[in-house]
Each structure stands twice: as C-alpha cells, then as structure tokens.
Chain A
Amino acid sequence: MEEAQKYVWEGAIPLQIHLHESEVTTLPTPPPALILAPRIGYLPLLVPQIKPHFSNALPPGSPDTVWFDYNGLPLKWYIPTGVLFDLLCAEPERPWNLTVHFRGYPSNILVPCEGEDSVKWGFINSLKEAAYIINGNCKNVMNMSQPDQVELWRSVLNAGNLEAYVRISSKLKLGTVGDEYTDSGGQGQVKTGNYFTLQDAVKSILPEYFPNKSSTNEESSRDEDENEQKVPSEEGEKYLSENVESFYPSDNVEIKLVRIQGIEPKMEIPFSWVVKNLTNPEHYLHICVCLKVPQVL
C-alpha cells in the first residue's frame, strides 16, 4: 500500500512558464522556463527556480508579489499544483503552459501571498482544520514541537522525503478510516459484501448529479463546469467549494469524470483505499469533478 502513496508523492506536472508580455523588456523574448512541479506542492514554492530564469528580462524596480495565470485565469496559490492541473485541464496539457507575473498582483481577486511563509501557514491551517474535523480538536497540530514542524514542512516543500512525512504525521493521529477493504490477513483482498465506494462518497456530496431515473438526455455537451471537493480523511465530513458557479439546473447535468491525483479511478473502488492512498499531505482528499452540461438552446 505504501507504493501507491509513494507514487502520489512523486507525481509531478511538467510546466512551461512564460513571462507575461507586459513585463518583458529585452529582445528577444526570454524562452519559457521548463519546470517539473510536484503535484503535492504549490506554485509560489517554485518561484526561487523561476525568478533567476527571467531576472534579466524584468523591468527595473522592485517586483511585486509573484502570481500565475492559466489562460488569463489568476491561479489560487494555496491550492496544490496537481489539483489546479486536474481541475483546469480537462484534457491534460503537457507541458502545462502558465504565465508568470512579477507585477500587478490582483489583490481584489487573489488572497495575498508572501512567498513560502504564506504557503506554509496555509498548509498548517488546513492541517489544523483536518485535525479538528477528525478529532474534534486541533491539539495535536498546535502542540507539534518546533523541530517536528520544520521537518514536516520540509518534507512537503521538497516533496522528497515521504518517510519523514509519514513518521511525523503519524504522531498527529489523523488516521481514522478502518481498512475495510482488506481482510484480517492484510493481503489486500477485497471483502465481498457492502463497502463504501468512491461513487457512494461523491454521491453523498453531489446527490443532484446522480439521477434516479434513467436519463433520456441526448443533448451534446457544450461546456464543462468544474467542482472541487475537499474531503478530509473521515467519512461523513464534507466541505464543498465551487470554483465556477453553476447556472444550470441540475436536471440535465451529469458527471463526466472524477479525477484524483491525475487518476480517474473506477467508481466502484473502496473509498477507504482512496482516502488512505490519494490524500494530500495536509490530510485533505481533493476530488476534481467535471460535469457534462447540456447545450443552452
């Protein structure tokens, strides 16, 4: 089982990062930076690699906070890179073309970011929230020793040290989901009978997209609405956040695909397996859902 976790931990997205044209002061335009971004990481953490690449081309004067956009959409820096990719690229684009800005931070749209510190506090806050949902309090996270905190963050920062991460995070006692899918022999055999599937989980959060009657919808899909779900590692607790407002009645909307860590798992898979292996380091499971929406007549 550790293998799946390792696979997730090492997952990365190839990025091709272009400097925004308004900020290019040299000829020829600097070539884009090619970076392999860890899925479980965050975009601002890549700035130390990106900035030197463009420093010659930047206009004089001190730069503002760095921010990224994809096709003009400013990217939320506190969402893991892999989740942004799964959510925004229904057809995975490799490399993923992003634009970087060193000026003009859209503070009316994006929450402020002061580099690594902001990302770290956002991460710890999410971890606290997950701990609260699972245990009813954040004590374990709040009482982490300073060295533990440093090492935990470092293991995430470099997405390298899974062992260190597992060691420290197990002290937080955030695992509550029993292994329903293995029998007592631990051989990984699926127990026959009822277990809670991924489909059950998604259905409990988005019941409106699971029609009871057989669908007679024959309209072709025109557009895709995307929802992002965060489900910490405890069944029954949900937190829904929509990145794109859905204006369509739920009647004719269907789920086109469900993507987690870049994988489209079979919906019959035991949810406990998904939770155990595909969660992010802050103990949230990010489920990206793409909807098929009928053409507006």
Chain B
Amino acid sequence: MGTKEEAQGTLSSTDFGVAASAFILNWNTICSSFPPWTWVLSHHQVEGYLSLENILLSSTQEEHGELSCPGPGKHSLQEDPIDVDDATLVHINPCKVHYYDLHIIYCNSYRVPVLYFRAYDSDGEPLEFDEIEKDLPAYSKKALSDSKWTFITQEEHPYLNRPWYKLHPCGTSEWMKLLFHADDALAKTGVAIELYLVAWLSVVGHVVGLRIPFEMMKQL
C-alpha cells in the first residue's frame, strides 16, 4: 500500500486481495470456532470477494436466558459466544431467527471495501427492511433515521446481479484514515494492509451488530 493511499484511507484492488488473504488466514486461525470467511472468485476468475454466509445475527436471542445453539448448518456470530452443551439448548422461536449472508466486495470507484448483505428467515424467505432494521443495534437505527443520505441501500450485487443491501462506502476512507493515523506504530511498520480489513470490519461490522472476536482486535 503506497503511502499516498494509506494517507487517504483507501487501498488498491491488488492490496485488497492481499488484505483479504491475510484476513482469512487470521480469522480462520484465531477464530477457529467461528464459521470461516471464504474467498469467492468471480468475473472470469480475475476478481474476487470475501464471503461469510448463513450466520445468525438475530438480536432476538437476548430474549432467551441463555445463548442458544442454532440449527444444523447454521452458525451464530453473536456478541460473546460461550460454549454450549446440549443440556442448555433452548428452543428458538423459528419465526424470530434471522440469517445473514455477508460479502465484502472491493469498490473500484471509492477504492475501499464495501459490505453487502442479505437477510432471510429459516425458510429462506428474504426479510423486509423493517425486519432487518429491528436486528440493528440501537445506534444504527438512530443513524438511519437521522441521516440525510441513507447509508443502507438496496443495490445490485456487482457479481450476482440480484438486489442486496449495501452499506454506502462514501465515508469509509475518512474514518479508515483516522483509524490508521491514530496509531503511529501501525503506519510505520507497513503492516497496514494486512490489518486493513480487521480494522475496517471492526467499524462496519458494528453497524450490523457483528462483533469481531477480541483476539482479532488485539492485533490492532
């Protein structure tokens, strides 16, 4: 990552690839109990994006006394997951369970990663935006209602040609700039690219209620 890009909080598409590889390695090692992020190739194998699918982000889990184990094939990525054994399984009201697919895709125009997501219930039916809004942390709900420019919009997924929700990228470089400048050591060692996505996701993930495990955050 050239100093110029670093200073602007942006990164090139090649650097995104590097950052993504580092991120996957890190995540899958440190957070091995979590579902893994994968790299999906597209566009004639030239471009790719990060994918994490079938995860539970439902805040309705707080209604139950203990954290529950999701159904087979589904994973939970809630606040602070604890080990659950079968004895403490609590039946989740299937109507309340929301699953999310997250894709991190590089945006050529803004030269930053962008989060695309979609949400559906246990029958695979897509969720309406007002249901998704209920899942969002309180501060996001407020930001949504305050914001002059809606920052969650529905747009066509760049590769899948279907409508997905997207977190608007136009402010990203500004706060990434702040994040990196806040830490001199980070800027000097040039480890910046590799940690770009952890840093980025720690902010962006917050918006949708995705918590980055502490072990990953320690690196920043």
Contacts and interface: CB of A to CB of B under 8 A. Distances in A.
A238 B162 contact: no
A111 B158 CA distance: 13
B8 to A, nearest CB: 7
B1 to A, nearest CB: 16
Contact of A132 (B44, B109, B156, B163): B109
B108 interface: yes
Contacts of A237: 108-109
Contacts of A111: 154-156, 163
A110 B162 CA distance: 7
Contact of B110 (A109, A132, A242, A246): A132
Interface in A83-122: 107-112, 121
Interface in B143-186: 150, 154-156, 158, 162-163, 170
B123 to A, nearest CB: 15
A138 B149 CA distance: 13
A128 B163 contact: no
A129 B109 contact: yes
B34 to A, nearest CB: 30
Given A108-B126, A112-B154, A132-B170, A239 B108 contact: yes
Contacts, number: 32
For the residues of A in contact with B, the DSSP-based class is loop
Given A111-B154, A111-B155, A112-B154, A238 B110 contact: no
Interface residues of B, number: 15
B22 to A, nearest CB: 26
Given A129-B109, A129-B110, A241-B158, A107 B170 contact: no
A133 interface: yes
Interface in B17-69: 43-44
A136 B110 contact: no
Contacts of B8: 136
A117 to B, nearest CB: 11
Interface in A228-253: 237-239, 241-242, 246
A108 B154 contact: no
Interface in A109-164: 109-112, 121, 128-129, 132-133, 136, 138
A239 B109 contact: yes
Given A128-B170, A138-B170, A241-B158, A108 B163 contact: yes
Nearest to B174: A137
Contacts of A110: 163
Interface string A212-237: 00000000000000000000000001
Interface of B: 8, 43-44, 108-110, 126, 150, 154-156, 158, 162-163, 170
Given A136-B8, A238-B108, 19 more contacts: A76-B156, A108-B126, A109-B163, A110-B163, A111-B155, A111-B156, A112-B154, A112-B163, A128-B170, A129-B110, A132-B109, A132-B110, A132-B170, A133-B109, A237-B108, A239-B108, A239-B109, A241-B158, A246-B44
Across the A-B interface, the 5 shortest Cβ-Cβ residue pairs: A111-B163, A129-B109, A111-B154, A133-B109, A239-B108
21 contacts: A107-B163, A108-B126, A108-B162, A108-B163, A109-B162, A109-B163, A111-B154, A111-B156, A111-B163, A112-B154, A112-B163, A128-B170, A132-B109, A132-B110, A133-B109, A138-B170, A237-B108, A238-B108, A239-B108, A239-B109, A241-B158
